[in-house]
Structure 1
Amino acid sequence: MNGDHSDDNLLIARAFVDPSADASTMTGFDGDGGVWEVTAGGATTAASVAWPAGPITERAEVRREIVALYDEACAVLGVEPRAHDR
């Protein structure tokens, strides 16, 4: 997520954590959501964002939920989402 999709991290942070975020790195996840380290205005905080479909129980569901978060972030921010490999 961080190497291949660093721009996605920032979109998710701006949509769901702080619109003024200037950096974001995914640091973890659990069944309830993802965790990002978000930097805005020189301050860095950890922020949890819930999975769009609700809690998950299988690791394979993580990708689906991150893609859904990306799509929702694009909608919130008015950004055209790119096509996804499914």
Structure 2
Amino acid sequence: MTTTFDAAVVAAVTGHMNGDHPEDNLLIVRAHGAPEASGAAMIGVDGEAGTWEVVGPEGPMGEVRVPWPAGAITERAEIRREVVALYDASCAALGVEPRAH
């Protein structure tokens, strides 16, 4: 069974990602199924994956759901670790130099 996080946790995570890391959102979706994306916003998080709403050059493209690199998680503290891992893997896949964490 997939762990679901409290709505306040999801709002905090998505708010942080969309407010402070929009460029990271874009890198993640480009590396995980939407290479033509021109914009992305994190819209969900659960124990299995993060979910992003994707926009392309011609408008909305739908959602991209990206599983956590280490597998299923159950604790809020694990979310940051997994998002950072996704960012690092996305940078590697796209040949982008990651910033320091």
Q: TM class by shorter-chain length?
A: over 0.9
Runs ≥4 residues deviating over 4 A: none
The alignment's C-alpha RMSD in Å is 0.8
Superposed displacement of residue 46, structure 1: 1.4
> How many aligned positions are there?
84
Find 1:27's aligned residue among 24, 38, 43. Answer: 43
Decide which structure has greater helix share.
Answer: 2
| Separation in structure 2 between the aligned mates of residue 33 and residue 76 of structure 1, nearest angstrom | 18
Q: 2:34–2:64: 8 Å Cα contact kept in structure 1?
A: no
Could you list the runs of 5+ residues in structure 1 that have no partner in the other structure? none
* TM-score normalized by the length of structure 1: 0.94
Deviates more, 1:39-48 or 1:72-81: 39-48
Could you list the runs of 5+ residues in structure 2 that have no partner in the other structure? 1-16
Superposed displacement of residue 47, structure 1: 1.6
Letter in 2 for 1:75: A
Letter in 2 for 1:55: A
Find 2:28's aligned residue among 9, 12, 15. Answer: 12
In structure 2, what is the equivalent of residue 62 of structure 1? 79
Superposed displacement of residue 71, structure 1: 0.1
Structure number, greater radius of gyration: 2
- 2:70 maps to 1:53: yes
Q: Percent identity?
A: 62
Letter in 1 for 2:29: A
